[in-house]
Amino acid sequence: MTDSMDLKEIDRQEKIQAEILHSFHQTLKNEEFQIYFQPKVSPASGKISSAEVLVRWLHGGKMRWSPAVYIPLFEQNGFVISLDYYVYEKTFRWLQEFSRQLPADFRISLNVSPLHFEEPDILP
């Protein structure tokens, strides 16, 4: 009985992975990946000094998949490169729009997949 349950779980996981991979490009096109800014507070001033950019996959206003599920899968097949560029573009647009409202020394942290460093034009 355990083997049968294990096979069912494996089958379920494979179906989820296939659905995630199959819907990736349409999700980008529909802008269902949303960015969020996790603030970081300076201990010295008690004020927000920077933020880390996080990405969440939303569908109908609710989280569709956890990043713990889709990020490793995207890392395995290279989709993470496209996702990263999408996040960078959204972040830079946000910064352009709100830069005058931010302190001059405000910093943004972006996650960079190790796969980017395999690209020939990532570094000069």
Q: Which CA distances in Å does 110 have to 36, 44, 90, 91, 120?
A: 11, 23, 11, 9, 20
- Does some domain include residue 123? no
CATH number (domain holding residue 83): 3.20.20.450
Looking at residue 89, its amino acid is E
On whether residue 74 sits in a domain, the answer given is yes
- 76 lies in a domain? yes
In a domain, 11, yes or no: yes
Structural domain boundaries enclosing 40 = 2-118
Considering the domain boundaries, does residue 124 fall inside one? Answer: no
- For 27-40, how does the pLDDT look when each residue is reduced to its tens digit (9 = 90+)? 999 999 999 999 99
Q: pLDDT tens digits, residue range 52-89?
A: 999 999 887 788 888 999 999 999 999 999 999 999 99
The yes-or-no verdict on residue 22 having pLDDT over 80 is yes
Whole-angstrom distance, CA of residue 94 vs CA of residue 86? 12
Sequence-distant (≥ 6) Cβ neighbours of residue 58 within 8 angstroms: 32, 33, 34, 64
Question: How many domains, in total, are found in the chain?
Answer: 1
Q: What is the pLDDT of residue 109?
A: 96
Binned at pLDDT 50, 70 and 90, residue 119 comes out as confident
Mean pLDDT of the chain: 89
Cβ-contact 86, 33 below 8 angstroms? yes
* Confidence band, pLDDT 50/70/90 cuts, at residue 2: low
Position 95 in a domain: yes
Q: How confident is the model at residue 124 (pLDDT cuts 50, 70, 90)?
A: low
Q: Which of 44-48, 98-102, 115-119 has the lowest mean pLDDT?
A: 115-119
CA–CA separation, 102 vs 95, rounded Å? 9
Q: Is residue 110 in some structural domain?
A: yes
